[in-house]
A and B are shown apart, each in its own frame.
Chain A
Amino acid sequence: MLKISNLHASVEDKAILRGINLEVKAGEVHAIMGPNGSGKSTLASVIAGKEEYEVTEGEILLNDENIDELAAEERAHKGIFLSFQYPVEIPGVSVTNFMKTAINETRKAKNLPDMPANEMLKMIREKSELLEIDRKFLSRSINEGFSGGEKKRNEIFQMAMLEPKLAILDETDSGLDIDALRIVANGVNKLKSKDNAVIVITHYQRLLDYIVPDFVHVLYNGRIVKSGGKELAHELEEKGYDWIKEEINA
Chain B
Amino acid sequence: MELKEKLIASFMAFENQVDIDSPVHDVRSEAIKQFETQGFPSKKEEAWKYTSLNSILKHDYSVFPKHENTVEYNDVKKFFIHDIDTYKIVFIDGKYASHLSQTTHDGIDVCLMSSALNKPKYRILIENYFNKIAAKDSLTSLNTAFSQEGAYIHIPKNKLVAKPIQIVHFSTGNESALMLQPRNLIVVDENSHVQIIERHQSLTDNPVLTNTVTEIYTNKRAIVDYYKIQNDNENASLIDNTFINQKQESVASLHTFSFGGKLTRNNLNFYQNGERIDSTLKGVTIIGNKQHVDHNTLVHHIEPNCESHQDYKGIFGDSSTGVFNGKVLVNKEAQKTNAFQANNNILVSDKASINTKPQLEIFADDVKCSHGCTIGQLDESAMFYMRSRGIPEKEAKALLMYAFSNNVLSSVKIPEIKQRITKIIATKLGVNIGFDL
Please name all residues of chain B whose beta carbon is closer than 8 Å to the beta carbon of A162 when the two chains form the complex.
389-390
Taking a contact as CB atoms under 8 Å apart, the answer to whether B387 and A76 are in contact is yes
Q: Number of residues in A with C-beta < 8 Å to the partner?
A: 36
Please choose the segment from A86-94, A176-184, A199-207 that sits at the chain B interface, where 4 or more of its residues have CB less than 8 A away. A86-94
Q: Mark B352-392, 1 if CB is under 8 A from A, else 0.
A: 00000000000000000000000000011110111111111
Please choose the segment from B34-42, B193-201, B255-263, B399-407 that sits at the chain A interface, where 4 or more of its residues have CB less than 8 A away. B399-407
Taking a contact as CB atoms under 8 Å apart, the answer to whether A77 and B390 are in contact is yes
Taking a contact as CB atoms under 8 Å apart, the answer to whether B388 and A48 are in contact is yes
8 Å CB interface, A134-181 against B: 141, 158, 162
Taking a contact as CB atoms under 8 Å apart, the answer to whether B382 and A88 are in contact is yes
Taking a contact as CB atoms under 8 Å apart, the answer to whether B389 and A158 are in contact is yes
From A92, which residue of chain B is reached at the shortest CB distance? B403
Q: Does A102 contact B (CB under 8 A)?
A: yes
Shortest beta-carbon distance, B259 to chain A, in Å? 19
Taking a contact as CB atoms under 8 Å apart, the answer to whether A50 and B385 are in contact is no
Shortest beta-carbon distance, B197 to chain A, in Å? 25
Q: Does B190 contact A (CB under 8 A)?
A: no
Known A-B contacts A92-B404, A102-B390, A109-B390; the reply to A84 vs B395 at CB < 8 A is: no
Docked complex Cα distance between A249 and B87 (Å) = 82
Q: Can you list 8 pairs linking A and B with CB atoms under 8 Å apart?
A: A45-B384, A76-B389, A91-B403, A93-B403, A98-B386, A103-B390, A105-B390, A106-B390
* Known interface pairs A72-B384, A81-B388; 12 further A-B residue pairs with C-beta atoms within 8 A, sorted by A's residue number: A45-B384, A71-B387, A73-B396, A90-B382, A90-B385, A92-B404, A93-B399, A93-B437, A97-B436, A98-B389, A102-B386, A105-B433
Please name all residues of chain B whose beta carbon is closer than 8 Å to the beta carbon of A71 when the two chains form the complex.
387, 392-393
From A104, which residue of chain B is reached at the shortest CB distance? B433
8 Å CB interface, A103-128 against B: 103-106, 109
Please name all residues of chain A whose beta carbon is closer than 8 Å to the beta carbon of B390 when the two chains form the complex.
73, 76-77, 102-103, 105-106, 109, 162
Docked complex Cα distance between A98 and B388 (Å) = 12
Docked complex Cα distance between A76 and B384 (Å) = 11
Residue of B388, B395, B404 touching A76 (CB-CB under 8 A): B388
Shortest beta-carbon distance, A64 to chain B, in Å? 22
Q: Does A56 contact B (CB under 8 A)?
A: no
Shortest beta-carbon distance, A162 to chain B, in Å? 7
Interface residues of A (CB under 8 A from B): 45, 48-52, 71-73, 75-77, 80-82, 84, 87-94, 97-98, 101-106, 109, 141, 158, 162
Docked complex Cα distance between A75 and B384 (Å) = 12
Docked complex Cα distance between A207 and B388 (Å) = 24
Residue of B385, B403, B404, B436 touching A88 (CB-CB under 8 A): B385
Docked complex Cα distance between A45 and B380 (Å) = 14
Interface residues of B (CB under 8 A from A): 379-382, 384-393, 395-396, 399-400, 402-404, 406-407, 433, 436-437
Please name all residues of chain A whose beta carbon is closer than 8 Å to the beta carbon of B403 when the two chains form the complex.
90-93, 141
Once A and B bind, how many residue pairs between them come within 8 Å at the CB atom? 86
Docked complex Cα distance between A49 and B386 (Å) = 12
Taking a contact as CB atoms under 8 Å apart, the answer to whether B391 and A101 are in contact is yes
Docked complex Cα distance between A92 and B410 (Å) = 11
Taking a contact as CB atoms under 8 Å apart, the answer to whether A105 and B404 are in contact is no
Shortest beta-carbon distance, A199 to chain B, in Å? 14
Docked complex Cα distance between A90 and B381 (Å) = 10
* Residue of B386, B388, B404 with most partner-chain A CB within 10 A: B388
Docked complex Cα distance between A84 and B395 (Å) = 21
The 3 closest A-B pairs by CB, nearest first: A92-B403, A76-B390, A72-B387
From B433, which residue of chain A is reached at the shortest CB distance? A101
Taking a contact as CB atoms under 8 Å apart, the answer to whether A73 and B387 are in contact is yes
Taking a contact as CB atoms under 8 Å apart, the answer to whether A102 and B382 are in contact is no
From B389, which residue of chain A is reached at the shortest CB distance? A102
Taking a contact as CB atoms under 8 Å apart, the answer to whether A73 and B391 are in contact is yes
Taking a contact as CB atoms under 8 Å apart, the answer to whether A88 and B381 are in contact is yes
Known A-B contacts A92-B437, A97-B437; the reply to A84 vs B391 at CB < 8 A is: no
Please name all residues of chain B whose beta carbon is closer than 8 Å to the beta carbon of A49 when the two chains form the complex.
387-388
Docked complex Cα distance between A34 and B336 (Å) = 59
Taking a contact as CB atoms under 8 Å apart, the answer to whether A50 and B384 are in contact is yes
* Residue of A49, A52, A102 with most partner-chain B CB within 10 A: A102
Taking a contact as CB atoms under 8 Å apart, the answer to whether A84 and B385 are in contact is yes
From B409, which residue of chain A is reached at the shortest CB distance? A92
Please name all residues of chain B whose beta carbon is closer than 8 Å to the beta carbon of A92 when the two chains form the complex.
402-404, 406-407, 437
Taking a contact as CB atoms under 8 Å apart, the answer to whether A105 and B388 are in contact is no
From B392, which residue of chain A is reached at the shortest CB distance? A73
Residue of B391, B393, B404, B407 touching A102 (CB-CB under 8 A): B391
Taking a contact as CB atoms under 8 Å apart, the answer to whether A105 and B437 are in contact is no
Please name all residues of chain B whose beta carbon is closer than 8 Å to the beta carbon of A88 when the two chains form the complex.
379, 381-382, 384-385
Please name all residues of chain A whose beta carbon is closer than 8 Å to the beta carbon of B437 when the two chains form the complex.
92-94, 97
Docked complex Cα distance between A105 and B432 (Å) = 10
Known A-B contacts A72-B388, A84-B385; the reply to A90 vs B400 at CB < 8 A is: yes
Shortest beta-carbon distance, A79 to chain B, in Å? 10
Please name all residues of chain B whose beta carbon is closer than 8 Å to the beta carbon of A109 when the two chains form the complex.
390, 392
